[in-house]
Amino acid sequence: MQGRICVGPWRLQVLPNSTLSCEIKNDPIVTNFDGDPAPLPYPCRYMVSDLMTIMKSQSGNDIGFCEFRVFAFNSKDRGKFYVSGFDVAMALYYNDGPTVQFSYRQVATAKNNINTASTTGKRNAFIPFVPDGTDDVSYTDAANGVYIDKGWDNQNNRYFFTVVGCSVTITLVPYDSGLRGLQKQVPGLSLSLSQPRLEHFVGTTACLGPKSLGYMSLADIQQPTLSNSSSFLLQTFTNAEEQNQPDDNDGQCAEASRILNDCQRTRKRLAMKNCDWMFSRTHFIKCYDKTTGSKDLMKLFNMCVTSWCTNRPCTNAINAIRASGCANVPSVPEMSAFLQGNKCPASQAFIE
């Protein structure tokens, strides 16, 4: 059984030692299943985890397995990113019985303790995920004690989605744009597995998989010449998940994935090394893109990575920054270097 919410800057929840968990705390930092943190200032939709668990009956028998594909999407407030919702595509595979499939989306934000939330769902939808279904995503297998428990936990200020019998719980504490740092609960997303046993994690997702079970760690995905955080961000972009979140940034998220996946390896790394500052400099972001989405910011990033991937000058990106009136935002040394052309292809050799 899960413990209470922690109040403080550390963890989203207090969980038993037998629970395996991954958290994405704003703004945002991913703490993976091994407890290793990494920043993920990513303005798009991304896969949190793709995992399978054993399905157990209430009497403790193995009766099949469960598959979950969990996604999150980020929004922006005052130049900082936060988790504004999650998707879960799930399938229950019985050893002796039907396959049950659902798509479910939870969106939630808050302002001065007043939440704005919505849910959508679709039965018999797993792949592809259906983001806008109107079905009631409820399921109860009374004979085996397998069921979906979801809703709003008023006491702990969180939305939750639990599949009893599959050991999986997803919780979302909405970010409060009015209270901001005065918000009592730590905002963000948590994915937890109670009594984990024989889990199988698929792909290199945001939460990765436990190193002790043979999966890659943050150190394993770090690329030559890139920092840990830049490598993690590049991995997330090149995973190229479908960008069907409520605000798809005018297609710019999908375009960034396409550009980077088509980019030559060395140039791709240089593109991230010289362009990803655009996602981490709060004062610049606040000036350049004032929306809750990141359409303008993503367009600028795509101009930058296109320059690197095609070995062309950064003229378009430099002109866009100057035209925005943000060229003189203080305390952004990367931007100053960029505007001088020192973070553009002509100024650096393609050396790994």
Where residue 97 falls among pLDDT bands split at 50, 70, 90?
Answer: confident
Q: Which stretches does DSSP call E strand in the chain?
A: 20-25, 29-31, 37-39, 45-56, 62-77, 80-94, 99-111, 114-123, 140-141, 146-153, 158-164, 168-173, 188-193, 200-201
pTM above 0.85, yes or no: yes
Nearest to 218, CA basis, from 228, 210, 227, 226: 228
If 0-12 CB within 10 Å is exposed, 13-18 middle and 19+ buried, where does residue 340 land? exposed
Give ∠ CA 82-86-90 in degrees, rounded to 5: 160
In a domain, 74, yes or no: yes
Q: Give the β-pairing of 168-173 and 29-31.
A: unpaired
241-284 pLDDT per residue, tens: 999 998 878 999 999 999 999 999 999 999 999 999 999 999 99
| Domain final position from 184, 215, 246 | 215
Question: What does 180-240 look like in DSSP terms, one character per residue?
Answer: GGG-SBPPEEEEEESS--S-EE-SS-TT---GGGT---HHHHPPTTS-HHHHHHHHHHHT-
Both 125 and 176 in one domain: the answer is yes
Instruction: Please give the structure tokens belonging to residue 178.
Output: 């009015």
In a domain, 302, yes or no: yes
- 85: domain range? 20-215
Assess whether pLDDT exceeds 70 at residue 53: yes
Both 234 and 170 in one domain: the answer is no
Segment 20-27 shows an average pLDDT of 91
Both 262 and 131 in one domain: the answer is no
In eight-state DSSP terms, residue 4 is: P
In a domain, 11, yes or no: no
Tokens 């479908």 belong to: 242
In a domain, 9, yes or no: no
Segment 279-307 shows an average pLDDT of 96
Number of domains in the chain: 2
Both 142 and 188 in one domain: the answer is yes
Tokens 């109040």 belong to: 7
Query: Higher confidence at residue 299 or residue 249?
Result: 299
Both 80 and 191 in one domain: the answer is yes
Rounded distance, CA 352 to CA 349, Å?
Answer: 9
